[in-house]
């Protein structure tokens, strides 16, 4: 009676995607630069955001409100919520502006940026296992840099991520040194008690973010497209992108155009031999073979080729068609590494 109606109501209240502009929430390195260019060029979307996902986004804002309500019942103080900040860095004319979730003051009177994210269970687990949330970290550093114009003593951020499935919390303490443009993960804390000190460092984090926006703008102005940052068949984020079909529409022709190129792959003969040998093994070795194959694919992409000779090995990346019986036909890429046969005398 209500389950389907509520979701449909959310879809009816759908808002048009707002115009592209550089801002902290899309400044991270994992945000697709090609997607940003389509957005900036005003390219029509292939598909709209699902009705249920609209509810997911709305739900996230309520999670933040609930979390702050719990924090206010502790000895910590949270203030300056939705305060506007502007971030500038030397060497770039761009100004990134946004609204922070707040500033949190601890028992010793130390102020830190407070940034809250409500995320799904699987993403939360990845971050809990030490996979750094690089986009969120970049956003935090943008805000810290902006806050330093008001309070130079603020050099850390509390990135608090709530698991929307289990209500568990994951906390990253991030330090940002504006003199070297370097961020460091000082600690990871989980609500059920585990604490990890990992010290992962990110150099030139804001310089990279600003340079990325500059690159996007150049492509927008020239009506060109940057190279795809993800491989063919990538499920996330490509499978969730509003321009997925447009982005990959001409890929078969691109592959065909490169098919005539043959690269000199002599430097990876050992890698090709290793890949070929691993092909005879199964089970535990499959993952290692895929990693080696990824290195070969990366070299081919770098050399703008689909085929080449690696010493005694013939290396080729083919685009094949998978016949769909219960679903639509689809394309996939397959790497072939074969040892040349010795000519008989």
Q: Provide the pLDDT for residue 261.
A: 82
d(CA 52, CA 76): 35
SS3 (DSSP) at 30 = coil
Q: Is the dihedral of CA 56, 61, 63, 64 positive or negative?
A: positive
Q: Provide the pLDDT for residue 52.
A: 55
Cα separation values, 204 from 10, 33, 185, 294, Å: 40, 18, 14, 27
d(CA 174, CA 199): 9
Is residue 183 a contact partner of residue 144, using CB atoms and an 8 Å limit?
no
d(CA 175, CA 93): 25
List of domains in the chain: 20-212 (3.90.320), 251-345 (no CATH)
C-alpha dihedral (215, 33, 143, 177), degrees to nearest 10: -70
* Cis preceding-peptide flag for 237 (omega within 30 of 0): yes
How buried is residue 345: exposed, middle or buried, by Cβ count under 10 Å (0-12/13-18/19+)? Answer: exposed
Is residue 133 a contact partner of residue 161, using CB atoms and an 8 Å limit?
yes
What tokens does 281 get? 């093994």
Count how many Cα atoms sit within 13 Å of the Cα of residue 111 in the half-sphere of its side chain.
12
Q: What is the CA radius of gyration of the chain?
A: 24
DSSP 8-state class, residue 238: G
Q: Is the dihedral of CA 120, 125, 127, 133 positive or negative?
A: negative
Q: Provide the pLDDT for residue 345.
A: 54
Is residue 215 a contact partner of residue 226, using CB atoms and an 8 Å limit?
yes
DSSP string, 281-327: --TTHHHHHHHHHHHHHHHHHHTT-SEEEETTEEEEEEEEEEPPSSS
What tokens does 242 get? 């509003």
Q: Which residues pair with 202 in a beta bridge?
A: 183
Is residue 28 a contact partner of residue 134, using CB atoms and an 8 Å limit?
yes
Q: Provide the pLDDT for residue 137.
A: 98
Tens of pLDDT, residue by residue, the chain (345 residues): 655 655 555 444 555 668 999 999 999 999 999 999 999 999 999 877 655 555 555 567 788 999 999 999 999 999 999 999 999 999 899 999 999 999 999 999 999 999 999 998 999 999 998 889 999 999 999 999 999 999 999 999 999 999 988 999 999 999 999 999 999 999 999 988 777 667 899 999 999 999 999 999 999 999 999 999 998 888 888 988 989 999 999 988 888 888 778 888 899 999 988 888 777 665 666 778 888 888 999 999 889 999 999 988 999 998 877 665 444 566 777 887 888 776 655
Count how many Cα atoms sit within 13 Å of the Cα of residue 331 in the half-sphere of its side chain.
14
């Amino acid at each position: 009676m209500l389950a389907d109606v509520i979701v449909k109501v959310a879809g009816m209240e759908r808002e048009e995607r707002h115009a592209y502009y550089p801002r902290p929430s899309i400044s991270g390195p994992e945000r697709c630069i090609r997607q940003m260019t389509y957005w900036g060029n005003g390219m029509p979307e292939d598909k709209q955001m699902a009705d249920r996902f609209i509810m997911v986004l709305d739900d996230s804002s309520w999670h933040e409100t609930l979390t702050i309500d719990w924090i206010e019942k502790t000895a910590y103080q949270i203030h300056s919520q939705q305060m506007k900040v502007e971030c500038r860095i030397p060497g770039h004319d761009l100004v990134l502006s946004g609204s922070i979730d707040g500033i949190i003051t601890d028992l010793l009177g130390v102020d830190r940026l407070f940034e809250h994210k409500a995320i799904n269970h699987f993403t939360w687990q990845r971050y809990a296992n030490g996979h750094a949330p690089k986009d969120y970290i970049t956003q935090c550093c943008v805000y810290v840099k902006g806050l330093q114009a008001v309070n130079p003593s603020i050099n850390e951020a509390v990135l608090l991520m709530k698991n929307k499935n289990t209500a568990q919390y994951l906390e990253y303490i991030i330090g940002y040194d504006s003199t070297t443009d370097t961020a460091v993960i000082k600690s990871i804390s989980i609500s059920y008690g585990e604490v990890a000190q990992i010290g992962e460092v990110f150099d030139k984090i804001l310089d990279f973010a600003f340079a990325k926006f500059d690159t996007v703008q150049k492509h927008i102005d020239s009506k060109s497209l940057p190279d795809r940052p993800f491989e063919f068949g990538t499920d996330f984020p490509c499978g969730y992108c509003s321009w997925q079909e447009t982005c990959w529409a001409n890929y078969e022709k691109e592959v065909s155009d490169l098919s005539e190129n043959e690269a000199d792959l002599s430097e990876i003969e050992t890698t090709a031999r290793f890949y070929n040998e691993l092909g005879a093994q199964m089970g535990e070795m499959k993952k290692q073979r895929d990693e080696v194959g990824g290195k070969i694919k990366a070299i081919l992409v770098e050399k703008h080729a689909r085929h080449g000779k690696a010493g005694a090995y013939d290396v080729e990346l083919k685009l094949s068609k998978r016949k769909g019986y219960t679903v639509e036909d689809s394309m996939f890429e397959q790497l072939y590494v074969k040892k040349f046969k010795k000519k008989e005398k």
